[in-house]
Structure formats: C-alpha cells, structure tokens
Amino acid sequence: MNIDKKEKISVKRVGFIWTVLIILLVILSLVAIAVGSAGYSIGEILSALFSEEKSTIKIIVMNLRLPRLLLAILIGSSLSASGALLQSVMRNPLADPGTIGVSAGAGTAATTILLVFPHLTNSVPLFAFGGAALACFLIYSLAWKDGVDPTRIILSGVAINSVLGAYNSLLQLLHADSLEGVLAFMNGSLSGRSWAQVRMLAVYAGVGLVLAFLSIKSANMLQLGDEMARSLGARVSMIRICLSAVSAFLAAATVSVAGMIGFVGLVVPHISRLLVGSDYKAMLPTSVLLGAVVLLAADTVGRTIVPGMEIPVGIVMAVTGGPFFLYMLRKKGKVRGN
C-alpha cells in the first residue's frame, strides 16, 4: 500500500513539473515573439498574423522571430537529450557533448568547411555529423581496452577536445581575414536563421529525439552498473556505443545550425535529475522540456538585455550556466557533508 502511494505521488509530481514547464514554454514563446528592437502587443501580433495584408509586424514575426523561436526550442531539447544520454553512458553528471569532444568534433568540421571550403557551406550539417562521429570513433578507440570504461572515455574525450581546440585556433590564425561569420558560429548564435534551418533541424532533431526516447531502457540499464547490466543480458559496450552515436547525432545537428552552445547538455539533465529523479522515463522528457525553456529564455535575454545589440546565446549560457552549475555542485556537496 505504501509503495503504491509513493508511486502515485511520484507520478503526480512528474506530471505537475511537466505541466509547469509547458506553461513556462508557452509564456516564454509569447514573450519571445512580442519583444525585440520593435515591441508589439500580443493583440497586434495576432491581428497581423490573421490578416491577409503583408504588414511590417507580420514580416518581422513570420520571417525573423518565429523561426528563431522554433530553433531555440529544437536546439535546447536536442542538446539536453544529448547530454542526458552521455551522462548515462559515462555514469557521470559532468559529462556532456562539449566536455568529451563530441561538439568539438562537429564544430571543427563545420569551421573547416566555413574557412577552407566556403563553397561547401550548404553541406555543413553533413560534415558536422561526420566530425562528431569521427570524434566519437577516436574517443572510443583510445578508450577501448577489453571493453569500454567510462573513466577512459572521459579522459580520451578531454584529450581530443584539447587537440581539436588547438586545431581550431590555428585555423582561425591562418584565416584571420575570414573570421566574421565563424566567430558568431563559435560563440553560438541564432541570429539571422530562417525557415530553411528550421525545416532542416526539425528533421534531424525529430529523428534524434525519437532514437533518444527509444534508448530509455538502455540508459536505465547502464545506471545499474556494468556487472548488474551484464547479468541482465545487456551488451554494455554496444549500448554505450549506440547511445553515444545518438548523442553525437543530436549534438552535430545543433552545432551545424547554431554553432557551439555549451552548458545546456550539462546543466539541464542535472537539474532534471534533481526534480524527477534518475529514472530516464521521467528524466529524459523533463530534460527535453527544460532544455527548450532554458535556451529560449537565454536567447530572448541575449537579444533584448542590451538595446541595439545582440549577445549570442552561447555567451549567455556560458555566463549563467557555469556559475549556476558550480552553485549546484557546492550545494550538493554540503548536503552530502551533512
């Protein structure tokens, strides 16, 4: 009886949190559409959208703000799911696509195309995924020794991240006169994105998120520990490779559209775990919703906080996500100490 009651309370808690996150997402979406260099009321926006006239409000909302809003939601959801899967693979809440080199691989490939082969710019998503996949392959090759150990994966990822960072710096030095577009890419920005990017990312993110949700059972098994998972018949190394591939796919898709955006895949799954626990049946959907809320809020703040100037969303996330994550780590450490 007590167990059923606890489970019922847990389901109610998860449902309440999901409801709150959806309401927040709707409110933030309305704010993101309404605010900007030219502010409009919701009534003016609705009137313009349902009017047959091509007014200034309609053009701004349909061609600029709405695509950006949808991209922020897709990117936040994808990065959060990517980070959540990697944290299961590593059994480490500090793992995310940025810290182990997956995002760096995608970013390096995209930067190479933008600077060295600009005529192939339309193929950036394909090369970004190839770079992320290659980074994953190198990481697992270096970490493999009678199986895959999470600690070796993290150490290999840090090494790959460092090498790719040095390569990117060298590439920028050699092409200093062509850095204008690349700097926005490296800082992570949604400025100037159009419906073409929305349609492309919707396909990649849709496929990646479906694969992520299909991986929930495998992610939960990895949390039991390698020995327990093997005793249940799981092929642990293969599961790690598959979940890493899904994570790399999601990270590469976002990098190809918005550039390097850090801390979403690190902070959001950690907060989701605190809210709903470690079961991926609840944690992964919570991460997807919370990631959309966090990135949309960060992008809205970045483009409105300083009048006449736009701060890339990657910088906003670094400024707010880093200290917040350190605070959470310190708070968690104090609780353990007590």
* pLDDT, tens only, 261-310: 988 998 899 899 889 988 999 999 999 999 999 999 999 999 888 877 88
Give the helix ranges, DSSP H, for the chain. Answer: 2-34, 42-49, 56-60, 66-90, 102-116, 124-143, 150-174, 180-187, 195-214, 216-223, 226-231, 236-258, 264-276, 280-304, 313-337
- Over 70: is that where the pLDDT of 201 sits? yes
Q: What's at 23, amino acid-wise?
A: I
Q: Tokens standing for 338?
A: 């007590």
Q: What is the mean pLDDT of residues 241-266?
A: 88
Place of tokens 């190839």: 130
Closest CA to 261 of 316, 325, 210: 316
Q: Tokens standing for 264?
A: 């979403």
| pTM, two decimal places | 0.87
* pLDDT, tens only, 25-77: 999 999 998 887 777 777 777 777 777 777 788 888 888 889 999 999 999 99
Strand, coil or helix: 176: helix
* C-beta of residue 85 within 8 angstroms of C-beta of residue 219: yes
Strand, coil or helix: 144: strand
**Rounded to whole angstroms, how far apart are CA atoms 281 and 40?**
40
